[in-house]
């Protein structure tokens, strides 16, 4: 009887974990159309205004980096956090760098190593909202425009499936050639086809933080799902041993 009760409890935890993972991925899917629309708008403005020079597309002001690192809130997730931190440290090598940690383990890791922290306000990855991602994007854009760092990247864990989660490094600033993000079947843009107020550069710059917030939010959802899956796999392995 005791064995059956234990099996039932494990089964309940497994189902709850699966539901949480599905919820995290659903959040990402539901928000994607809005942020894809922002990306399309940026690409269209860039294509129609070839002489536009946004600070977000110019050559970096310096070679310092800021890493938005999304790690776990708890331990007992196998190599989930360690694999991510190893990737960050590889990318940091040879550069002056700061971090904006998301998740308790990220803050602990980099604080212990005396890496400058942009903000310690986002210590629960599982509770990060879209509004939080907008705030993170604003902080990052402010630091970038002020010259605090010349490059920005997100480092997170991509959810492949329940058994596979991969650490990812994605540079986000300076922006890539936004024109290249237009659909292949998009009509050829004509210079100043649309009149932007006050001008195309101002509109472009106003959209960038919202676009970056979308990238951050998607990465947070992927990371939360990955942490849940990694913890479930680690706990099941420990139980079976």
pTM: 0.85
d(CA 228, CA 80) in angstroms, rounded, equals 10
Q: Is 170 helix (H, G, I), strand (E, B) or coil?
A: strand
Q: Are 175 and 204 in contact (CB under 8 A)?
A: no
Q: Are 228 and 24 in contact (CB under 8 A)?
A: yes
Three-state secondary structure string covering 126-156: HHCCHHHHHHHHHHHHHHHHCCCCCEEEEEE
pLDDT, averaged across the chain: 84
Which of 105, 112, 110, 117 lies closest to 149 in space, CA to CA? Answer: 117
**pLDDT at residue number 132:** 96
What's 131's DSSP letter?
H
**pLDDT at residue number 73:** 84
Which of 150, 179, 220, 195 lies closest to 39 in space, CA to CA? Answer: 179
Predicted confidence (pLDDT) per residue in 134-188, tens digit: 999 999 999 999 999 999 999 999 888 878 889 999 999 998 877 776 666 555 5
Question: If phi over 0 gives left and psi between -120 and 50 gives alpha, with beta otherwise, what is residue 225?
Answer: alpha
Which of 214, 194, 211 lies closest to 57 in space, CA to CA? Answer: 211
Which of 19, 235, 228, 31 lies closest to 125 in space, CA to CA? Answer: 228
d(CA 155, CA 116) in angstroms, rounded, equals 16
- Dihedral angle computed from the Cα positions of residues 162, 36, 60 and 143, in that order, rounded to the nearest 10 degrees: -80
Give the dihedral sign, CA 47/217/67/205.
positive
> Which of 52-56, 115-119, 183-187, 218-222 is predicted with the least confidence, judged by mean pLDDT?
183-187
Q: Are 124 and 194 in contact (CB under 8 A)?
A: no
Q: Which residues make Cβ contacts (< 8 Å) with residue 135, sequence separation at least 6?
A: 121
Predicted confidence (pLDDT) per residue in 27-73, tens digit: 767 777 877 788 888 888 877 776 778 899 888 879 999 999 999 88
**pLDDT at residue number 40:** 82
Which of 166, 83, 70, 205 lies closest to 125 in space, CA to CA? Answer: 70
Q: Is 69 helix (H, G, I), strand (E, B) or coil?
A: strand
């Amino acid at each position: 009887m005791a064995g059956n009760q234990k099996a039932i409890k494990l089964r309940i935890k497994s189902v709850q974990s699966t539901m949480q993972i599905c919820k995290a991925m659903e959040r990402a899917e539901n928000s994607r159309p809005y942020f894809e629309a922002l990306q399309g708008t940026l690409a269209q403005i860039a294509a129609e205004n070839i002489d536009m020079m946004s600070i977000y597309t110019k050559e970096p002001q310096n070679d310092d980096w800021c890493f938005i690192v999304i790690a776990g809130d708890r331990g007992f997730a196998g190599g989930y956090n360690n694999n991510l931190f190893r990737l960050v440290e590889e990318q940091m090598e040879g550069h002056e760098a700061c971090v904006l940690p998301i998740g308790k383990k990220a803050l602990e890791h980099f604080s212990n190593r005396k890496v400058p922290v942009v903000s310690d306000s986002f210590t629960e990855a599982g509770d990060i909202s879209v509004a939080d991602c907008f705030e993170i994007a604003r902080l990052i854009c402010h630091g970038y425009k002020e010259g605090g760092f010349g490059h920005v990247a997100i480092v997170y864990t991509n959810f492949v499936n329940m058994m596979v989660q991969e650490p990812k490094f994605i540079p986000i600033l300076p922006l890539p050639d936004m024109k290249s993000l237009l659909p292949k079947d998009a009509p050829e843009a004509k210079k100043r086809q649309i009149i932007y107020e006050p001008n195309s550069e101002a509109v472009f710059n106003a959209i960038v933080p919202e676009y970056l917030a979308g990238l951050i939010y998607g990465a947070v959802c992927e990371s939360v799902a990955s942490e849940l899956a990694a913890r479930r796999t680690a706990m099941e392995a420990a139980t079976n041993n």
